[in-house]
């Protein structure tokens, strides 16, 4: 009975009861959520299967109605049993639409498999299916799969390629190649890949080959970047080891200095003690001869200690000097390696921010500069405008005169934009045939005047391809950053303005 005699026991049992009650309520709520989810699932399944067979539709409708009474409804259980029986009967009862479905199946297969051999086999199978009833659909499908063998002469991706928009894939790969840093060793391969991706009317096999080459190039670039990163990691590890060695050397020099100071202190103390003893001996001495002996002995001890101290100091100085020489050599090595790494990083950074073809800043550089200009615009509230340029009919130039001609056009446009813009304007190749310009301290009206001057200059520039004179024009969209603008919202607005310029006949500039 002592168990129930404690004052805390009633409270403990009350707490346990309340906890059990909470758990029961939570369990009930969880069960209710699961029941609701199950009801929704059943309703969606009945909706999805309605119309598959007239025999099942009345039961499906009744099941949806019964679910309104909850999942524990007895009527719902009876209806589910009737539905199950109907499904079992349906399995052994051929439907009237079976022949129509078979005909649709063969029509589809005849459209997809187009070789003479495949067409002949499918037509024979279709006649057989009309006269000989297969016991199950699975048997029919297995017969079709066994009869139709892939031809060795027919490339596997043909059917799939007919349903793939190769243009979208090509554009995405182009954007990827434009957006990453391409090491100089891969410049030629990258240009070739870009030219192939911008071409049109690829066969399935050709497009598969282009994709394969593009992916292999991206893999090589990744491996090259990983190799460079490994070199940098090794260099940093080496620097860390050298810093640790420097730390040891500095600690050694500090210890040597401390030890030298301790030796000097001991010498001073010893000499002071010897001098005190001499003074005491001379004061207490009554005769001269014993005093002379004491003085000579003390002086000899002092001289010995001074010599020993000098020798120790010389050894320590030599050791310290060697440590300092080693320290200087290590610092020089680190400075040399640091300069080398700084040079490599500068080159890598330049490559990462430059377009390999035109030499203009690329999209990464544009993003960096835009961040700086936006911060200045928000701080000083001076106008800032954005221009997006796009070469008119650039794809036609590539298709008609080749990709080398297209590259020359890009170089020409880049040069004209650079030569005829202001020093404060920032020009970049955004990707493909698109260029961007950031114009600080410039409103949209002033930007339009400058843009039209550039457009007219480019229009007058002559260009020859394969001995023929080719007209080169360019269109642009202009916008001015306004309150609450972001880089995305302003770019989208300028892009819409560019679209308007294209729709209005090209070779023009529009503001939005």
User: Does residue 77 sit in the same domain as residue 116?
Assistant: no
Q: Both tokens of residue 214?
A: 């593009």
Residue 160 lies in a domain: no
Highest mean pLDDT out of 29-33, 156-160, 318-322, 430-434: 430-434
Band of residue 5 on the pLDDT scale cut at 50, 70, 90: very low
Rounded to the nearest 10 degrees, what angle do helices 363-380 and 166-179 cross at? 70
User: Does residue 298 sit in the same domain as residue 372?
Assistant: no
pLDDT surpasses 70 at 434: yes
Q: What is the pLDDT of residues 75-94, one digit of tens each?
A: 666 666 666 666 666 555 55
Inter-CA distances, 410 with 38, 178, 332, 393, 472, Å: 61, 14, 46, 12, 10
Which residue out of 79, 178, 433, 434 is catalytically annotated?
A: 433
User: Does residue 265 sit in the same domain as residue 205?
Assistant: no
Q: What is the pLDDT of residues 126-150, one digit of tens each?
A: 777 766 655 555 566 667 766 665 5
Residue 8 lies in a domain: no
pLDDT: which is higher, 76 or 409 = 409
Q: Could you give the residue ranges of the DSSP H alpha helices within 353-443?
A: 363-380, 394-401, 403-419
Number of domains present in the structure of the chain:
5
Nearest to 199 by CA among 17, 390, 37, 394: 394
pLDDT surpasses 90 at 492: yes
Report the CATH number that the domain containing residue 395 is assigned in CATH. Answer: 3.30.70.270
User: Does residue 377 sit in the same domain as residue 504?
Assistant: yes
Domain final position from 91, 116, 144: 91
Q: What is the pLDDT of residues 185-244, one digit of tens each?
A: 787 788 788 777 777 666 767 777 777 788 788 878 777 777 777 777 776 677 677 666
Cβ neighbours for 124, distance < 8 A, ≥ 6 positions apart: none
Residue 442 main-chain phi, psi, to 5 deg: -135, 125
| Enclosing domain of residue 310 | 243-351
Inter-CA distances, 266 with 309, 313, 317, Å: 9, 13, 18
Residue 3 lies in a domain: no
Cβ atoms within 10 Å of 491's Cβ, excluding its own: 19
User: Does residue 494 sit in the same domain as residue 415?
Assistant: yes
Cβ neighbours for 431, distance < 8 A, ≥ 6 positions apart: 174, 175, 178, 179, 363
Domain final position from 212, 240, 268: 240
- Beta strands 468-469 and 464-465 are antiparallel
User: Does residue 373 sit in the same domain as residue 489?
Assistant: yes
Residue 6 lies in a domain: no
Residue-level pLDDT at 158 = 44
Residue 511 main-chain phi, psi, to 5 deg: -110, 140
How many percent of the chain have pLDDT more than 70?
Answer: 63
Residue-level pLDDT at 357 = 86
Residue-level pLDDT at 302 = 74
Q: Which helix (H) or strand (E) holds 465?
A: strand 464-465
pLDDT surpasses 70 at 155: no
Mean pLDDT score across all residues of the chain = 75
Question: What mean pLDDT comes out for the span 435-444?
Answer: 95
Domain final position from 284, 317, 351: 351
User: Does residue 465 sit in the same domain as residue 368?
Assistant: yes
pTM above 0.75, yes or no: no
Q: Could you give the residue ranges of the DSSP H alpha helices within 50-133?
A: 57-66, 74-91, 98-112, 116-131
User: Does residue 249 sit in the same domain as residue 234?
Assistant: no
Residue-level pLDDT at 17 = 60
User: Does residue 106 sit in the same domain as residue 87?
Assistant: no
- Beta strands 384-391 and 474-480 are antiparallel
Cβ atoms within 10 Å of 504's Cβ, excluding its own: 11
pLDDT surpasses 90 at 406: no
How many percent of the chain have pLDDT more than 90?
Answer: 20
Residue-level pLDDT at 112 = 66
Q: What is the pLDDT of residues 253-271, one digit of tens each?
A: 667 667 777 777 777 777 7
Residue-level pLDDT at 7 = 47
Residue 487 lies in a domain: yes
Place of tokens 């096999």: 205
Residue 288 lies in a domain: yes
Is position 100 annotated as part of the catalytic site?
no
Q: What is the pLDDT of residues 293-347, one digit of tens each?
A: 777 777 777 777 777 777 777 787 787 778 777 777 777 777 777 777 777 777 7
User: Does residue 75 sit in the same domain as residue 123?
Assistant: no
pLDDT surpasses 80 at 33: no
Question: What mean pLDDT comes out for the span 150-161?
Answer: 46
User: Does residue 368 sit in the same domain as residue 506?
Assistant: yes
Residue 158 lies in a domain: no
Residue 415 lies in a domain: yes
How far apart CA 7 and CA 9 sit, in angstroms, is 6
- Give the least confident one: 125-129, 282-286, 385-389: 282-286
User: Does residue 212 sit in the same domain as residue 309?
Assistant: no
């Amino acid at each position: 009975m002592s168990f129930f005699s404690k004052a805390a026991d009633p409270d403990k049992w009350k707490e346990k009861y309340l906890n059990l009650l909470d758990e029961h309520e939570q369990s009930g709520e969880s069960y209710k959520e699961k029941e609701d989810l199950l009801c929704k699932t059943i309703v969606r399944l009945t909706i999805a299967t309605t119309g598959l067979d007239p025999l099942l539709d009345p039961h499906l409708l009744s099941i949806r109605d019964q679910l309104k009474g909850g999942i524990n409804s007895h009527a719902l259980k009876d209806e589910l049993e009737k539905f199950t029986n109907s499904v079992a009967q349906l399995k052994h009862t051929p439907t009237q639409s079976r022949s129509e479905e078979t005909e649709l199946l063969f029509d589809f297969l005849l459209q997809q498999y187009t070789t003479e051999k495949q067409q002949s086999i499918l037509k024979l199978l279709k006649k057989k299916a009309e006269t000989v009833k297969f016991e199950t659909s699975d048997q029919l499908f297995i017969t079709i799969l066994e009869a139709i063998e892939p031809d060795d002469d027919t490339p596997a991706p043909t059917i799939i390629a007919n349903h793939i928009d190769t243009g979208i894939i090509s554009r995405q790969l182009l954007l990827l190649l434009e957006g990453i840093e391409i090491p100089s060793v891969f410049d030629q391969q990258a240009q070739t890949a870009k030219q192939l991706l911008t071409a049109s009317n690829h066969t399935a096999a050709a497009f598969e080959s282009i994709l394969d080459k593009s992916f292999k190039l991206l893999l090589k670039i990744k491996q090259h970047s990983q190799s460079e990163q490994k070199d940098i990691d090794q260099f940093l590890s080496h620097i860390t080891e050298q810093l640790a060695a420097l730390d040891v050397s500095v600690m050694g020099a500090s210890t040597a200095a401390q030890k030298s100071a301790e030796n000097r202190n001991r010498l001073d103390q010893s000499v002071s003690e010897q001098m005190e003893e001499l003074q005491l001996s001379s004061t207490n001495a009554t005769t001269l001869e014993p005093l002379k002996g004491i003085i000579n002995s003390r002086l000899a001890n002092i001289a010995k200690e001074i010599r020993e101290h000098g020798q120790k100091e010389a050894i320590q100085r030599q050791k310290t000097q060697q440590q300092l020489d080693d320290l200087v050599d290590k610092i020089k090595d680190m400075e040399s390696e640091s300069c080398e790494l700084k040079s490599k990083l500068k080159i890598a950074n330049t490559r990462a921010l430059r377009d390999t073809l035109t030499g203009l800043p690329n999209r990464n550089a544009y993003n960096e500069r835009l961040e700086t200009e936006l911060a200045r615009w928000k701080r000083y509230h001076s106008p800032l405008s954005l221009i997006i340029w796009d070469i008119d009919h650039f794809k036609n130039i590539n298709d008609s005169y080749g990709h080398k001609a297209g590259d020359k056009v890009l170089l020409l446009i880049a040069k004209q934009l650079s030569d005829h813009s202001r020093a404060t304007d920032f020009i970049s190749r955004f990707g493909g045939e698109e260029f961007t310009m950031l114009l600080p301290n410039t409103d949209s009206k002033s930007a339009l005047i400058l843009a039209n001057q550039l457009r007219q200059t480019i229009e007058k520039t002559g260009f020859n391809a394969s001995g023929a004179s080719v007209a080169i024009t360019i269109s642009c969209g202009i916008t001015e950053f306004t309150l609450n603008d972001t880089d995305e919202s302003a770019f989208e607005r300028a892009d819409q303005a560019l679209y308007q310029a294209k729709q209005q006949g090209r070779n023009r500039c529009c503001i939005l």
